[in-house]
Amino acid sequence: MIETDICIIGAGPGGAATALKLDQLGLSSLILDKATFPRDKICGDALSGKVITVLNRIDPGIVDRFVALGEAIDVWGVKFVAPNEKEMDLTFWSKDSNTKDQIPGYVAKRIDFDNFLIDEVKSKERIDLHEGVKIDQYEKVEDGYIISDKSGKFKVKTKILIDSSGAHSSFARKIGGIEMDPRHYAASVRGYYENVTGFEEGNLIELHFIKDFLPGYFWIFPLPNGAANVGVGMLTSVISKRKLNLKERMLEIIEENPKFKERFKNAKLVDGLKGFGLPLGSKKRILSGDNYMLVGDAASLIDPMTGEGIGNAIYSGVIAAERARDCLNENQFSKEYLKAYDQRVYRVMGKELEISTYFQKTLFYPSLFNFIASRTSNNKHLREILSCAFMDIDLRGRMRNPFFWMKLIFNLK
Ligand SMILES: Cc1cc2nc3c(=O)[nH]c(=O)nc-3n(C[C@H](O)[C@H](O)[C@H](O)COP(=O)(O)OP(=O)(O)OC[C@H]3O[C@@H](n4cnc5c(N)ncnc54)[C@H](O)[C@@H]3O)c2cc1C
């Protein structure tokens, strides 16, 4: 049996960031993944400003090293298309002066991005990575957890367990008590296409809110070499109620909508359509207990409006690493002590998740959504603020105040 102070289950972005942050703090960790990398993860593949900012805080050179690999396309904005087809482009550069003075977001296939993070993990002596190990059993012992694979041959005893094993985490369900709640969970389908046309200058990622498909959305994200990541997402409760087949609906949207039909007329689907779940952060959960913390999708931290979860997975990993350091320094591992982890996660992300939950609710009311989209597309100042917010974490902080939004939308002084 391996004995360690900190063990991380799952080496996706959440787990990898936790290990990298621990390394930056001078702490060793053991990290396990059932997969052997490179491995795919079904995703929209969009890396927002939050991903870039938080990764650069862990290591100022890390994003440059990834971009240098040439596997990511730089994204200079987001196009929202309202049910009334009104388009709202939030760009991170001024089209008038054509200056790109902010940093962009990126779209990169997860097989590449996650493998890059794993290569970073492998380069650190303090991180002990084990691939191809699926953890199935968890036993609480007095001073931590003993976890093992199905055979019981691979066993780890750890003082602190960090679970970042994603949307289907059995630890989060069995020990953390996080049940799948269809009102706070979405299902999504994703396909890789070649030869989709009609992308805007600046490689904008596109979120289309289609009248007949609300409260769901259809996305088209550009990838390097003329490829695109295309998908649909919808709340699970609505899918069950309407008995929807997401794969069929996605193909219908492409074939029946004249705009998409034209853009996809020479497009080829590569490797079929694949589905996966999104545990949304539209409901507050308990994220820690005696000797453990939940990170990323295991903690249900996905933005309910946009489906963005990589940024919060990485950010929660950083917070978990810092709390783990405190635990070891103070020799405190109780759920009372670890509550500070939950408090900090929700202090950082809670308001933003709340705001997104409000916006998600507008998807049930197309005329309200249309109203907000019209207000925004006619208001240059509001568009600029929202654009900056994609990259600027401090501005996202100001956006937590509801008056900030009221002033902007209703143009109050
Ligand atoms: C269709 C779709 C589109 C999305 N689009 C976007 C997007 O464009 N941008 C964005 O930011 N977010 C997007 N998301 C959300 C994003 O994919 C997740 O939020 C993100 O992957 C969470 O990272 P994580 O590290 O918490 O979990 P994961 O990336 O799921 O990693 C979990 C890891 O744990 C491992 N694991 C699981 N169980 C075990 C076990 N028992 N033992 C050992 N290892 C285990 C897995 O192999 C995996 O490597 C999308 C999600 C979906 C489903």
The confidence score (pLDDT) of residue 88 equals 81
The strand ranges marked E within 170-267 are 185-194, 205-208, 217-222, 227-235
Provide the CATH number for the domain around residue 86.
3.30.9.100
Domain of 52 in residue numbering reads as 2-73+107-180+281-355
For residue 22, pLDDT over 50 is answered with yes
The confidence score (pLDDT) of residue 4 equals 98
The confidence score (pLDDT) of residue 413 equals 37
Q: Is 130 in the pocket of ligand 1 (CB under 6 A)?
A: no
Dihedral sign, CA of 73, 78, 82, 85? negative
Beta bridge partners of 22: none
102 located within any domain: no
Q: Which of 30, 40, 41 to mutate to test the pocket of ligand 1 (most atoms within 8 A of CB)?
A: 41
User: What are 330-357's pLDDT values in tens digits?
Assistant: 999 999 999 999 999 999 999 889 888 8
Q: 288: which 2 tokens? A: 């820690």
For residue 101, pLDDT over 70 is answered with no
Q: Is 309 in the pocket of ligand 1 (CB under 6 A)?
A: yes
Provide the CATH number for the domain around residue 20.
3.50.50.60
361 located within any domain: no
User: What are 24-78's pLDDT values in tens digits?
Assistant: 999 999 999 999 999 999 999 999 989 999 999 999 999 999 999 999 999 988 8
If asked whether residues 370 and 228 sit together in one domain, one would say: no
If asked whether residues 266 and 393 sit together in one domain, one would say: no
149 located within any domain: yes
CA of 108 to the centre of ligand 1 (A): 14
Q: How many distinct helices (H) and strands (E) make up the chain?
A: 14, 18
Domain-ending residue, one of 239, 255, 279: 279
Q: Is 190 in the pocket of ligand 1 (CB under 6 A)?
A: yes
Q: Is 191 in the pocket of ligand 1 (CB under 6 A)?
A: no
Domain-ending residue, one of 310, 333, 355: 355
Distance of alpha carbon 147 from alpha carbon 157, whole angstroms: 7
Amino acid in the structure at residue 191:
G
Q: 76: which 2 tokens? A: 């200079």
CA of 43 to the centre of ligand 1 (A): 8
Distance of alpha carbon 132 from alpha carbon 138, whole angstroms: 18
238-242 mean pLDDT: 95
If asked whether residues 67 and 81 sit together in one domain, one would say: no
Distance of alpha carbon 189 from alpha carbon 263, whole angstroms: 19
The confidence score (pLDDT) of residue 287 equals 98
Q: Is 43 in the pocket of ligand 1 (CB under 6 A)?
A: yes
If asked whether residues 198 and 223 sit together in one domain, one would say: yes
The confidence score (pLDDT) of residue 171 equals 97
Please classify residue 14 by burial: count the beta carbons closer than 10 Å to its beta carbon, then call 0-12 exposed, 13-18 middle and 19+ buried: buried
When the pLDDT of each residue in the chain is averaged and rounded to a whole number, the result is: 90
382 located within any domain: yes
Per DSSP, helices labelled H in 224-273 are 236-242, 246-256, 258-263
Question: pLDDT confidence of 293, banded at 50, 70, 90?
Answer: very high
User: What are 165-189's pLDDT values in tens digits?
Assistant: 999 999 999 999 999 999 999 999 9
The number of distinct structural domains making up the chain is 3
392-399 mean pLDDT: 54
Give Cβ neighbours of residue 174 (< 8 Å, ≥ 6 apart).
Answer: 138
For residue 99, pLDDT over 60 is answered with no
Please state, for a pLDDT cut of 90, what percent of the chain lies above it.
74
The confidence score (pLDDT) of residue 166 equals 98
Domain-ending residue, one of 254, 279, 304: 279
311 located within any domain: yes
The confidence score (pLDDT) of residue 294 equals 98
If asked whether residues 58 and 205 sit together in one domain, one would say: no
If asked whether residues 266 and 374 sit together in one domain, one would say: no
DSSP string for 89-130: EEESSBTTTTB--SPPEEEE-HHHHHHHHHHHHHT-TTEEEE
> Per the confidence metrics, is the pTM higher than 0.85?
yes
If asked whether residues 236 and 329 sit together in one domain, one would say: no
CA of 168 to the centre of ligand 1 (A): 9
